[in-house]
Amino acid sequence: MNLLKKKVLGGTSLALSMLMLSACGSESTPAAPVDTSALQDKIAGLEKKLTEQGIKSDEQAQKIAALEKKLTEISTAIVAGQGTNGQTSSGVGNNGSAGKGDGVLITFAQYEKLEVGMSVEKVIDILGGEGEALSEAENMVVYNYKGAAGNGGNAVIAFQGGKLLTKAQSGLE
């Protein structure tokens, strides 16, 4: 009986193998034609996007050039306004006590009250002190004020000729 089972199983295996080989066949079927028009449309779309980005880059380069030109004009005006002693016509003014500072803390409400052009004295009145002097140059002092909230916020304030030149803050509350 075992011999009969072996012959039946062996024959079945042989028949399945033959069926699979015949299904695979030895002839190759030709590949279906590839529709390249969709790919060409995608390529055209990408080329259009690249062109648009190039135009944007040119516009940005023009804006940068215009800003650089304005900066040069401002620098030229400042140099033209300098007196014989090398100071600007705005005068030296009081820039506070560079190198000292008193570690005053600042809030966002105080920061918002500051306006470019204010005197050092007016800024000190609003903030209650001078903060920490970071650097001093010919006619300029830059201060750092830590935020009162204790979250790492701070403000950087620069004076030139005794007047508030610029201000910046991060994380003040």
What would the pLDDT profile of 139-160 be if each residue is shown by its tens digit?
Answer: 888 888 888 888 888 888 888 8
Predicted structure pTM score? 0.44
Instruction: Tell me the C-alpha distance between 113 and 127, whole Å.
Output: 9
What would the pLDDT profile of 62-113 be if each residue is shown by its tens digit?
Answer: 777 777 777 666 666 665 555 444 444 444 555 555 555 567 889 999 999 9
pLDDT at 87: 44
Q: Residue 144, Cβ neighbours under 10 Å: how many? A: 16
Instruction: Tell me the C-alpha distance between 130 and 169, whole Å.
Output: 15
Q: Architecture of domain 105-170 in CATH?
A: 2-Layer Sandwich (3.30)
The domain segmentation of the chain, as residue ranges, is 49-80, 105-170
Contact status, residue 144 vs residue 125, Cβ threshold 8 Å: no
